[in-house]
Structure 1
Amino acid sequence: MNLFKMLRCAFLLMPALFCYSQTSSGSTAVVSLEICSNESSVDLFTMLNADAVAGGVWSPSLSGGQGIFNPAVDNEGTYLYTVTTNYVTLYEVEVEVSVVDPIAATTTSTTLCSNAGPVDLIGFTNDTSNQGTWVPELSSGTSVFNPSVDEPGIYSYIASGACGTTVSEVYVEVIDTANSGISTSLSICEGSSPFNLFDALEGSPDLGGTWSPPLRNGSGYFDPQRDAPGVYSYTVGNDYCGYSSASVTVSIDQSPFAGSDAVADLCVNNGPVDLYAFLGDGPDAGGSWSPALSGGSGWFDPLTDQEGVYTYTISNGSCGMDTATVEVRLIDTNNQPNVSLAITDLSGNNSIHVQIPNRTNYHYSLDNINYQSSNSFTNLSGGKYTVYIREIEGCGFFHKEVVLLGGPKFFTPNGDGINDYWSLFDISNIDYTIKVFDRYGRPIDTFDNHSIGWDGTFNGNPLPSADYWFLVNFEDGTTKNGHFTLLR
């Protein structure tokens, strides 16, 4: 059996490829031929061996005439070439034609999120060999696109093959991952103009998001006169790359109110006075005074602080500050009027009666705390008292000291244990000595406030029933006298 095989390939007019192989078994040869689909017509006879005999017939017939194969019109398959003479086959060959398509150029696009992983762009072309060249070159040096490194844009894939060179394009769009910024807090004054909450977000938030709950003006502006304080969430993003949210916590500051300017006329003998009380109705508490007061707060002490203008300042966050002033003027006390005290003591109703001109212009007190309009004090026990007199309209302030004696009007020294001694009582807050005299002025006994008293004797002998007199000498040098009765 005569077998032979021949392979021949030729690049004729690029990008056309003509490649055939020829085998022979017996009298019929078989030629395999590959033709690029983008080639013009090809004369199949020229693909035969050099000993091919001309003048034969092709079956099936070709659109271009004898032996002319047009890949755009004719079908690939087996074509038989036969040369006969007088019904005798002189030459016969089969040509198996395969039409090869060149690598198809493509134009595609893809959208990637900026936080996506690397993507192989070769999958967006028709060339699985990945032997072409990418322009511009990718950072990976291959066909892999990394959104975090490579720039978005058009990437061209240039592939050369047997059927020519093709250029495919991949348009890569990179969508930034949504950035809503960093949550923060905002204090805004109640009287402020509407404020864009977007400007309060920290970081670099993306524009175009939405606020929840919605604001009254329909945008991102917070109006303290219409919107409520609270947490407002800003959301930005898309369904493709997801969403991001941040919030602004809004509080509304009240405008500070320091009160109204005032003038305070104070007596130099006043006790400390709270200047805050002069600022009118409703000033905010917690402010500061300037210049500072000696008490360290808002209390003015006429004895240590100077008269002048004192400024009260109150601040409240975004609303700034407000001030009010109190001008303090010190008024000296008036001259002391003619004051005398009428007292009743050694009685069942000890009393003090203040005698003063225009008594209704004054208030009276025994402790300088509780004052009364009446100029009389009754039902007093014995003891040392200070009577305070304060002018109602003005700065007059006076005081006098007085001692009320408390003691029995009589005593009965008969040894029954009841009223056996005579002495003063209810005078525990002062030291004194007492001298007792008879009606003739003769001294009979002397004792002090630590003694039990006089027992009604003289040199150990009982004295008769009679009236007796006493003289009290107090430690401050003042004296008082009176009388009592001894009964037997």
Structure 2
Amino acid sequence: MNKCIIILLLCYLTAANLLFAQIAADFKADTTVICEGYSLHFTDQSISDTITNWLWNFGDTASHELDTSILQNPVHAYNTEGVYTVSLTASNFNYSNKKEKLNYILVRKLPDAIFTFTDTMFLPSYIFCFHGTVLNRDDSSYKYYWSFNQTSYQQGDTIAINTFPAAGNYVVSFMADAGAGCKDTVYNTVQVNDVLEAPNIFSPNNDGINDVFIVKSNGANEFELYVFNRWGATVYLETARRLQWDGRTSAGIKLPCGTYFYYITSPDIKEYKKAGVILLVK
């Protein structure tokens, strides 16, 4: 009799455990940001002793019948940019539980990177200013990387300034990274010249336009600038890697309008010599 009661009690407890078995559905994706056409691997992380069925919904109605899966750990490819809500319903023969993650997957277009560069009169010839952008950028963030030596990348912004070590041709690359390998890299060859150039007129009147006589050099070597008036007297002398003159004497006295003469040389390299005429106007 006692044996029968024990057997019945065990059967009752077993049935009760099966009847009231609880499920806490949960899952994760190997990443939540991808590019169009990339595939994601989803992993079931539901908690329960007995799960027999899985029903996934990837929120991707454009994929039609591929929008759902009954595998425990499925793979799904998203082919259209957008934000997607994903859900998993885990169940057994008498209980089910659904986990939904709103706006869980961000699908982005493969970035189309481009960059331009400039070598202006206001910068030494070895210094270039670079500006990169993404032509098809969206509202989400990007990471940007520059390489000026083709051996390593440095994370930065869309604007970069680089000083090259010498004259020559350099391959510069710009990378825009939208996440999870969703990136584009563009390359350009930059020709760096060793120059020594000077304007022939300037107007130091504080109007913000051509106020300073700027000598464009490579910015690496040291130069000497001599400015003479029409009687041959030295009115200004400067030694620097980047030469400029504001129309004053070395003592800071404003000079009158007129014609002046300059001579540029370098204590570093003898070939660096240049002479010319400057017209100072106001």
Q: Give the TM-score normalised by the residue count of structure 2.
A: 0.48
Q: Which has the larger radius of gyration?
A: 1
